[in-house]
Structure 1
Amino acid sequence: MMTDIQIARQAVKLPIAEVAAGLGLSPADILPYGHDKAKITHAAIAALQGRAPGRLVLVTAINPTPAGEGKTTTTVGLGDALNRIGKRTTICIREASLGPNFGMKGGAAGGGRAQIVPMEDMNLHFTGDFHAITSAHNLLAAMIDNHIYWGNELNIDSRRIAWRRVMDMNDRALRDVALGLGGVANGFPRQSGFDITVASEVMAILCLARDLADLQDRLGRIVIGYTRDRTPITARDLQADGAMTVLLKDALQPNLVQTLENNPALVHGGPFGNIAHGCNSVIATRAALAMSDYVVTEAGFGADLGAEKFLDIKCRMAGLTPSVAVLVATIRALKMNGGTARADLGHQDAAAVTRGCANLGRHIENLHGFGLPVVVALNHFDGDSPAEIAALQDCCAAHGVKAILARHWAEGGAGAEDLAREVTALVEGNSVDFHKLYPDTMPLWQKIETICTRIYRAAHAEAAPGVREQLARWEEAGHAKMPVCIAKTQYSFTTDPAIRGAPEGHIIPVREVRLNAGAGFVVAICGEIMTMPGLPSRPAAQTITLDAEGQVEGLF
């Protein structure tokens, strides 16, 4: 059996100008990065304004397990299948972070016969967007300390600086650091830390900005800290927003690549779904909708995190209305949710599937709560037994949805045509009554409580000392209408990653809140979730190298 990277290397890729032409883009509308990837220019994006949009398909999943769900693989396979049945379709996904690539999760290009290429480029430095975001973020950090060093005209209270530094790598040793050590020439000592780049507010801003002007306006609104009397200090006060925009000018342009079947894909932005809003960029999604009949996009991790944030944050800010939700599940993952140990997943156990379907059912109910039609995509694995598949289908039928067996990993778009036909039937046969979980006018703490009780089925949320007071101050400062981004473990409806299935009645502890004034939302950090992950005991980096021909080995 060939690995993902071996399959990707066998791809017969079209020149990227031909892929662009299929979207109606001329050579002047793209900036090629080699022969197989390009950016769509700002001018071309602007020219798309006003076109009637296509239909938006959201792909999400059950809570992830080590057994795997294949959300990105399904997104790619479904996009290929829709094109095969005559629907002009573009795929929109996020870029990959180096942290998971060299850690344990892996890449973000799909797998098997349902991949986006060039896979190696996508999973490594790609077109440099993450480096630009890291540089813009850290430029602001440097300007904060430099301003204090040269007299602190703005009277920034160094104890109340909220802007940390970032890097695109898992490194637990950088979670808490001391800055400015070594004497007067190095500035004033203070405690700070690093987050991973995908958690940066600059990443969120790039993914939510409409254009360069909106990008700079949002960057200028970033609150970096406060004075002693709690007056907020912004990036605009430091006159950093202009230079940050310059660093991000090219990064704001969406990246165009292709699937193994030569269908177009826009890969842009990369916030994690567990610690950020977990969606690709608004500018890419809107551009794809203007050029396509259908757009298939995904939201990070399980539907309780990624889908909720996609619907309550991205759709709210961008004015998007999805037509259908595709919920990805595997027999293996359902068995783990039903209590089967990972070592025993090869044994047939329809009863465990039935028990694990409680998790699936909870996600179906939540998506229906937004007014969306739902179809379950059963991402097929070798070894799935007819009895186990029947158990899943029975569960779905009890919730009023269909479960469609999809073999895109092994067969590409041809293996997902049944799924594509069900998606089109739902899209073209239903009028969607899409609605958000909460109104803008709801108080911030009540928004947190609403997500915790209605999506996670918690008894209530519990605020650490000072959290509710901080939220009240932000409301008084004019941020009351912001949506909320919950940062918590992706593995469970609770904040304990070991509790699978569909628990209810638990407590969600909110230990910290952060104001993302430029991005336009408040982050509630819950449980033990980290905004700077660490590497596992045996990181993937240990097996990644170059072979004798200079090709990458060990990257999937």
Structure 2
Amino acid sequence: MKTIEDFTQPYGLVDKIDAFGYLEYLRNNPDAPRKAGKVVLVTADTPLKASRGEGKTTTTIALIDALRARGIDAAAVLRQPSMGITAAGSKGGASGGGKASLTHPELVDWGLCGEMSAIEAAQNLLVSFAEKAIDEGKLDDVLVPRVSEVPSRSLRKTIVDAGKNNVAERVVLTPTCELMQIVVLSRSMDELAERVGNMTAGTKDGRGVKFNEFVELWRITNILTDAVKPAKTQTKAGSPVYVHGGPFANVSLGIPTLVSVEMATALHDVVVVEAGYGADAGAQKWLDIACREFGAQWPSAAVVVTRATTWRDDPTLQWRYPFHVNRLESMNIPTFPLINLWEGEDDLVDSLKSTAASLGFREPVLGNLFRDGGDALVSQLDAFVDTVQAADIPAAPESHRGMALRDNIEWVSKHAYGVPSERVIDRDGFEDSLNNARELCATVDVNLDDLALVAVKSPATMTDNDSLPEDQRSVTLKKVEPHTGAGVVQVNLTTSLTTPMPKIV
């Protein structure tokens, strides 16, 4: 019998695991040893600012350290962050902080696990093939954007001077691109290659043209050989952590790869999965895309992280945290509020517990995890551990495949943002964008309504204006962009950018 070590190789200071190969081995060898680990989802309150995190990664690391201190075989699956944003100081990294940190945080924060640069190179090569196809008369335009790990306002929209064949182009950050979505969702190299081939490169005489019509796909898949392998590292306390997949749950999937989580559940009893930004973004996408549409495991429990300042300092926004907790509970996911204290906030514990009790929350978990790490949580997890150990592995709910896209948008607006259908507003041009997307998909034999909905939105807001009273909040629809290879359709809501700029630090 083989073990996971047979599929693991050193990659600098971390290991890389052939998760595709390991999971195929398990499928072909049903008697091979494996566990049936349960997934716990860590998500967060909607942050007050796009550049400010609530502490999901710090919490995730502290949580698995605490669980292992209690004798539970726990591991975490984190997302590989965008170096261009993290290194520029615009957002915290994906490596925790203080005592709740990884052993080599720089490897994660600076993209040295390799997947970002490989995905960037592969999608840019696809765009180069598409540009050459214009020269050869196979395409009239290019629909796939170039990608970069370094943000630049000038790259959001450009015109390439190619004589009589001038080509409009744009550049998005690597985590937001379709190829990153394909890596996150694929469970084998064959599936990945098929999805890349089904990407719509551009149009010819109004008809969509896929890359498999003019590109030898091995050129792309070879670049991704190591990028599709999760990296294995550990916390400072020695707990196992797998890192794989893209951030940016506001403008893309923002979840770890499905294979990294499936692999981890075969190796450990409890797998803590981190999803990007707030529960309206990363958790919504883990539940409604990864689980509902692509068969990922539905969580046996959830932890919703907030900072005391996010939850209580702005009275007009205090509704958001209870909304998130109650929404997950309404989906039969036992949900535990966790309040990530900062220095000087220890004296707030009693008042925070009192507020949580008045809202009907489960007993909240509180601690300065940067300072104390998992030690802050060990004695507070009795109810959490009892719940996770008693829970079954839930079945994912029914797919929305085939639901009219407009109905799907309104369903997400109601359930994830608290906005009913009568206050979902079309901006000028949205209907044209929707019709154009439907017509484009039809030319490549894709039903737009069969694609999974990816809401592209501001990370710091759930609606057009979260400060309004509940009966006045709205969601505005901007444009539609199908990703036929990934099998998703992006719908832009309110304010959103796929090439955000860093703050000055």
Regarding TM over 0.5, the answer is: yes
Distance 1:409 1:393, change over 3 A: farther
1:454 corresponds to: 415
Alignment of 1:371-382 (within 5 A): 371-382=332-343
Q: CA deviation at 1:439?
A: 2.8
Aligned length: 486
**What is the rounded CA distance, in whole Å, between the counterparts of 2:391 and 2:266 in structure 1?**
21
**What is the rounded CA distance, in whole Å, between the counterparts of 1:417 and 1:490 in structure 2?**
31
Q: Is the 8 A contact 1:223 1:235 kept in 2?
A: yes
2:169 corresponds to: 192
| 1:469 partnered with 2:435 | yes
Q: CA deviation at 1:437?
A: 8.5
Q: Aligned letter for 1:332?
A: T
Distance 1:262 1:413, change over 3 A: same
Deviations 1:5-53 (A, max 9, x none): xxxxxxxxxxxxxxxxxx9633x4322123x301013534433445442
Distance 1:169 1:396, change over 3 A: farther
Deviations 1:299-338 (A, max 9, x none): 1000011101010111130341210110001212223333
State the SS of the aligned residue for 1:466.
helix
Q: Is the 8 A contact 2:464 2:473 kept in 1?
A: no
Q: Aligned letter for 1:61?
A: A
State the SS of the aligned residue for 2:472.
coil
Q: Is the 8 A contact 1:509 1:526 kept in 2?
A: yes
Q: CA deviation at 1:368?
A: 2.1
**Which of 144, 159, 183 is the aligned partner of 2:130?**
144
Q: Is the 8 A contact 1:406 1:419 kept in 2?
A: no
Q: Is the 8 A contact 2:297 2:394 kept in 1?
A: no
Alignment of 1:45-60 (within 5 A): 45-49=23-27, 51-60=34-43
Q: Aligned letter for 1:96?
A: P
| 1:164 partnered with 2:151 | no
**What is the rounded CA distance, in whole Å, between the counterparts of 1:528 and 1:505 in structure 2?**
18
**What is the rounded CA distance, in whole Å, between the counterparts of 2:471 and 2:61 in structure 1?**
33
Q: CA deviation at 1:525?
A: 1.1
Q: CA deviation at 1:62?
A: 0.4
Q: Is the 8 A contact 2:438 2:448 kept in 1?
A: no
Q: Aligned letter for 1:123?
A: D
1:64 corresponds to: 47
**What is the rounded CA distance, in whole Å, between the counterparts of 2:176 and 2:263 in structure 1?**
24
Alignment of 1:105-120 (within 5 A): 105-120=91-106
Deviations 1:50-101 (A, max 9, x none): 5442010000000012564111100111011111111111110001211222
1:361 corresponds to: 322
**What is the rounded CA distance, in whole Å, between the counterparts of 2:469 and 2:190 in structure 1?**
44
**What is the rounded CA distance, in whole Å, between the counterparts of 2:56 and 2:67 in structure 1?**
16
State the SS of the aligned residue for 1:455.
helix
2:266 corresponds to: 290
1:222 corresponds to: 199
| 1:523 partnered with 2:484 | no
Q: CA deviation at 1:105?
A: 1.0
| 1:492 partnered with 2:439 | no
**What is the rounded CA distance, in whole Å, between the counterparts of 1:58 and 1:502 in structure 2?**
30
Q: CA deviation at 1:487?
A: 0.5
**What is the rounded CA distance, in whole Å, between the counterparts of 2:388 and 2:158 in structure 1?**
51
Q: CA deviation at 1:147?
A: 1.2
2:111 corresponds to: 125
Q: Is the 8 A contact 2:129 2:215 kept in 1?
A: no
1:248 corresponds to: 224
Q: Structure 2 stretches of 5 or more lacking a match? A: none
Q: Is the 8 A contact 2:300 2:394 kept in 1?
A: no
Q: Is the 8 A contact 1:279 1:300 kept in 2?
A: yes
Distance 1:385 1:33, change over 3 A: closer
| 1:177 partnered with 2:179 | no
Q: Aligned letter for 1:233?
A: V
| 1:399 partnered with 2:360 | yes
1:425 corresponds to: 386
2:186 corresponds to: 209
Q: CA deviation at 1:138?
A: 0.5
Alignment of 1:255-270 (within 5 A): 255-270=231-246
Q: Aligned letter for 1:462?
A: I
Q: Is the 8 A contact 2:356 2:363 kept in 1?
A: no
Q: Aligned letter for 2:4?
A: L
**What is the rounded CA distance, in whole Å, between the counterparts of 1:43 and 1:465 in structure 2?**
44
**What is the rounded CA distance, in whole Å, between the counterparts of 1:436 and 1:405 in structure 2?**
32
1:75 corresponds to: 60
**What is the rounded CA distance, in whole Å, between the counterparts of 1:424 and 1:531 in structure 2?**
39
Distance 1:400 1:415, change over 3 A: closer
**What is the rounded CA distance, in whole Å, between the counterparts of 1:145 and 1:68 in structure 2?**
39
Q: Is the 8 A contact 1:111 1:409 kept in 2?
A: yes
Distance 1:270 1:387, change over 3 A: closer
Q: Is the 8 A contact 2:40 2:301 kept in 1?
A: yes
**What is the rounded CA distance, in whole Å, between the counterparts of 1:99 and 1:71 in structure 2?**
20
Distance 1:448 1:318, change over 3 A: same
1:332 corresponds to: 309
Distance 1:400 1:437, change over 3 A: farther
Q: Aligned letter for 2:44?
A: A
Q: Structure 1 stretches of 5 or more lacking a match? A: 1-22, 340-355, 541-556
Deviations 1:418-460 (A, max 9, x none): 4543322222234576654873232111101111122212243
**What is the rounded CA distance, in whole Å, between the counterparts of 1:385 and 1:259 in structure 2?**
25
**What is the rounded CA distance, in whole Å, between the counterparts of 1:311 and 1:365 in structure 2?**
15
**What is the rounded CA distance, in whole Å, between the counterparts of 1:335 and 1:400 in structure 2?**
15
Q: Aligned letter for 1:56?
A: V
Q: Aligned letter for 2:479?
A: E
**What is the rounded CA distance, in whole Å, between the counterparts of 1:319 and 1:382 in structure 2?**
37
Q: CA deviation at 1:507?
A: 2.5
